Amino acid sequence: MKAPDPMRCKANNRNGVRCYGWSMHGQSVCRMHGGSSPQALKKAEDRLRALEHPAISAMEQLIERGESEAIRFAVARWVLEVLGHKATVQVSTEQEVVITIRHEEQPIIVEQVYHGAIDGRSHD
């Protein structure tokens, strides 16, 4: 017999058959079986917060002692992207064009700079 999926609800329905609905984040039951109750949501949040520092430590260990440089680079890049850091891309053409992409709480802003003018318009 196949082992139950840990992401599926562990509750039983009225007929005694396992629910198998999707569990809510940080929980072992679905919304219908109490996963959306205030106390269940609070416990789930507490369990996830308890994993925060161990997860950060694991990422730090991968960056410092990963098996390969590719793993160390990928983890470092992921951490920086999650923190909102994006690379600046510079493109050279007959005219000088620099496109800067910044991540902010609002949508990504794209600026195009043409020899001191932004968006093709002169700003004095």
Q: What are phi and psi of 59, to 5 degrees?
A: -65, -40
pLDDT at 109: 45
Whether 123 has a pLDDT exceeding 50, the answer reads: no
Give the residue-averaged pLDDT of 81-109: 62
| The pair of three-digit structure tokens given for residue 116, joined into one six-digit string | 């001191």
Helix (H, G, I), strand (E, B) or coil at 90: strand
**Domain boundaries of the chain, sorted by first residue:** 1-47, 52-82, 89-118
Q: Which of 60-69, 75-84, 88-97 has the highest mean pLDDT?
A: 60-69
Whether 60 has a pLDDT exceeding 60, the answer reads: yes
| Better pLDDT: 27 or 91 | 27
Whether 121 has a pLDDT exceeding 70, the answer reads: no
Q: Considering only CA atoms, which of 72, 74, 77 is closest in space to residue 87?
A: 77
Q: What are phi and psi of 110, to 5 degrees?
A: -115, 125
Whether 114 has a pLDDT exceeding 50, the answer reads: no
pTM value > 0.85? no
| Better pLDDT: 112 or 17 | 17
